[in-house]
Structure 1
Amino acid sequence: MAQLYFYYGAMNAGKSTTLLQAAFNYRERGMRPMLWTAALDDRAGEGRIASRIGLEADAHMFGPGTDLHAAIAAQPADCILVDEAQFLSAAQADQLADVVDGLGVPVLAYGLRTDFRGQLFPGSERLLAIADKLVELKAVCGCGRKATMNLRIDSAGIPVRAGAQTEIGGNDRYVALCRRHFMEAFRAG
């Protein structure tokens, strides 16, 4: 029975690595995974999913107007793997649920839970509400605790407290922290 999974975690929790490993496992068994990533995140190149440990794969891209159900229904797949799922709209998250329920294809979505202010992303909020399975992937704060928050920093390493919810970046723009250290850094200054 197909299910909708949401794998979430802070930056550097291994979400893309886990997705790429799942794709490899499906292919190794002769199955066809269909990979998706957000069009606005082109750090690895347009239509590419890449992990910090060097794994990469081509992917379909979704933007705000993409009808995921229609695009997925148009080509055969044994599994749908979605990277950067926080950038889905609530409607697109519902479309993925329709893929599971109507087409019988499992969907594994991977993304951040919260933004640099500790607020839920719309796609993540909807996935947290409707996913059949929620799986937290763990990152580690510098203190050794589980990192659950993403602190945006500027080029000098100073915490950023205001701005657009979405600003693409990696270790140069974000630090994964436990709640305590996130709150201390966010409130300081």
Structure 2
Amino acid sequence: MAKLYFYYASMNAGKSTTLLQADFNYRERGLTTMLFTAGIDTREGAGTIGSRIGLAMPAATFDGDSDLHARIAAQHRDHPVGCVLVDEAQFLSEAQVDQLARVADELGVPVLAYGLRTDFRGALFPGSARLLAIADALIELKSVCTCGRKATMNLRVDEDGNAVREGAQTEIGGNDRYVALCRRHFCEAMRG
């Protein structure tokens, strides 16, 4: 029975690296995979899943209007898909998460979704909230705070390294814009 998996973590936990390793394992066994990433994230180039350790693979992109079930079902009819892997899953809509659940339930294809649990204010992303609600398996990937404790929060910082407390939920960036922290240090930074 295929399942919907949600691998979640703070920034810099190796989500994309883990996704690319899983993709390699499926392909090494001769199985076809489909990779998706958010079209809004162009840090590695449009339609590329890239990791901080230098691994990268091309991927199909999704935006708010993408019907992922239809795209996967069309591919699956012509060339059976062994696994679907989704990077930046926090940017999925609730409806798209439901579409991915249907891929697992109706098409029998496992779906591995990787993303952030919370934004820079500590609030759930809509896609992450839906994945936490309906995924068959929730797997937390670990990152480390500067104090050595488990990092669970994503602090957005300005060009001087100061905490950003307001703004749009989505702002693409890497180490220059975000710092993974434990809850204690995140709260201290947000209080100023």
Q: CA deviation at 1:167?
A: 0.0
Matched, 1:25 2:29: no
Matched, 1:97 2:135: no
Match of 2:87 among 56, 74, 83: 83
Mapping for residues 172-187 of structure 1, pairs under 5 Å: 172-187=176-191
- 1:166 matched residue in structure 2: 170
Q: CA deviation at 1:101?
A: 0.5
Matched, 1:108 2:112: yes
TM-score (structure 1 length as normaliser): 0.99
Supply the distance in 1 between the matched residues of 2:135 and 2:191 (Cα, whole angstroms). Answer: 33
Q: SS of 1:81's equivalent? A: strand
Supply the distance in 2 between the matched residues of 1:66 and 1:95 (Cα, whole angstroms). Answer: 10
Q: CA deviation at 1:63?
A: 0.2
- 1:123 matched residue in structure 2: 127
Q: CA deviation at 1:89?
A: 0.4
2:178 partner amino acid: Y
Unpaired runs of 5+ in structure 2? Answer: none
TM-score (structure 2 length as normaliser): 0.97
Q: CA deviation at 1:135?
A: 0.1
Q: CA deviation at 1:14?
A: 0.4
2:160 partner amino acid: A
Q: CA deviation at 1:96?
A: 0.3
Supply the distance in 1 between the matched residues of 2:108 and 2:23 (Cα, whole angstroms). Answer: 18
Q: Deviations over 1:143-162 (max 9, x none)?
A: 00000000000011010000
Match of 1:150 among 131, 149, 154: 154
Identical-pair percentage = 74
Q: How many residues align?
A: 188
2:151 partner amino acid: A
Q: SS of 2:30's equivalent? A: coil
Supply the distance in 1 between the matched residues of 2:72 and 2:179 (Cα, whole angstroms). Answer: 34
Q: SS of 2:179's equivalent? A: strand
Q: Deviations over 1:92-149 (max 9, x none)?
A: 0000001001100000000000000000000000000000000000000000000000
2:142 partner amino acid: K
Supply the distance in 2 between the matched residues of 1:174 and 1:23 (Cα, whole angstroms). Answer: 27
Supply the distance in 1 between the matched residues of 2:9 and 2:38 (Cα, whole angstroms). Answer: 17
Q: SS of 2:53's equivalent? A: coil
Unpaired runs of 5+ in structure 1? Answer: none
Q: SS of 1:94's equivalent? A: helix
Over aligned residues, Cα RMSD in angstroms? Answer: 0.4
**Over 2 Å off, 4+ runs:** none
- 2:39 matched residue in structure 1: 39
